[in-house]
Amino acid sequence: MAAFLTRYKIPDRFRAKIWIRIDGAGATHERVEHMKGLNTTRRTVRFAIGWKITDTDEAAIAKQPDKAWLAALHQDGQLHAHAGVAELTHLDERAAVWGVRLLVRRVRPSARDQRQFTALEQHIGFKYVIIATNLGSRGLRGIPGSHHVQFIDAVHRDHAEVENRVRTNKAMGLRNLPSKTWNVNLGWVLACNLAADLDAWTRLLGLHDDRELARAEPQRLRYCLWHLPARLISHARRRILRIRATWPWKNAFLACWQRLCALPAPT
């Protein structure tokens, strides 16, 4: 466990309560057992992980009555018009075998999804996704409704933001390695990840309330902020940054700069 906490740089004061989200690509029975074993008297670990659908799961889904399906939620809490969620634990025997709750989500498929449909999905017309979790009926302490299937589904799907960071890392240089030499590429990957971390923290701490730039692609941020039409001059033992007055993102840069400068120095 200590190696896990160190690897993912979880500060000591946040290690008593941990929430882990993993998509279907990383779902294995061994990982589920490992995460369940992380719980101790002083540490609570809850997880939501994608689950590969088997014939047993599809048989359970087929038994699900229509009234059991609830509208899924968007991240802002609004109802999703084309997706539903339901509890599958009481119908799926695999839930008891692995000691988890199983939730199922159904969505109207895209044309690409239809190529990979199972017989059940072709018959009913929905694409199904299963989530396994050890979050019980009491939910998370201090968060009302956190045991509900709609809450767990919405929180788990928010993990898809990871894909955005992967795309950002590629835009920072990970897409192309510069050398055939291992050590050179190792340094390149480290530099790219440092740049991606700086990009992520700058957005979070300095641009969080800017609708245009908070989620802008790296190429746009380079144009708007990083490649600034300005001059840095020295006068009376002071350094002065003179930004072109007509630059549309001048105020955004100044607000971001002031917020970052106000942060306490690391100790």
Q: pLDDT at position 187, please?
A: 94
Average pLDDT over residues 50-71: 88
Mean local confidence (pLDDT), 27-35: 83
Q: Give the relative orientation of helices 182-206 and 161-169 as an angle to the nearest 10 degrees.
A: 130
Between 62 and 142, the more confident residue is: 62
Taking each helix axis from N to C end, the angle separating 182-206 and 250-261, rounded to the nearest 10 degrees, works out to 100
Q: What is the 3-state secondary structure (H, E, C) of the chain?
A: CHHHHHHCCCCHHHCCEEEEEECHHHCCHHHHHHHHHCCCCCCEEEEEEEECCCHHHHHHHHCCCHHHCEEEECCCCCEEEEEEEEECCCCCHHHHHHCCEEEEEEECCCHHHHCCCCHHHHHHCCEEEEEEECCCCCCCCCCCCCCCHHHHHHHHHHHHHHHHHHHHHHHHHHCCCCCCCHHHHHHHHHHHHHHHHHHHHHHHHHCCCCCCCCCCCHHHHHHHHHCCCEEEEEECCEEEEEECCCCCCHHHHHHHHHHHHCCCCCC
Taking the C-alpha atoms of residue 62 and residue 222, their distance in angstroms, rounded to an integer, is 51
Q: What are the CA-CA distances from residue 171 to residues 97, 167, 193 (Å)? A: 43, 6, 11
Q: Please give the structure tokens belonging to residue 21.
A: 């989200």
pLDDT digits (tens, 9 = 90+) for 102-154: 999 988 877 666 667 777 777 777 888 899 999 888 877 778 888 899 998 98
Asked if residues 169 and 197 have their Cβ atoms less than 8 Å apart, the reply is: no
Q: How far apart are CA 131 and CA 141, in angstroms?
A: 21
Q: What local confidence, expressed as pLDDT, does residue 89 receive?
A: 92
What's the rounded Cα separation, in Å, for the pair 70 and 64? 12
Non-local (6+) Cβ contacts of 93 within 8 A are 56, 60
pLDDT for position 113: 67
Query: Tens digits of per-residue pLDDT, 210-256?
Result: 988 988 888 999 899 888 888 989 888 888 889 988 999 999 999 99
> pTM of whole model > 0.75?
no
**What is the pLDDT at residue 9?**
60
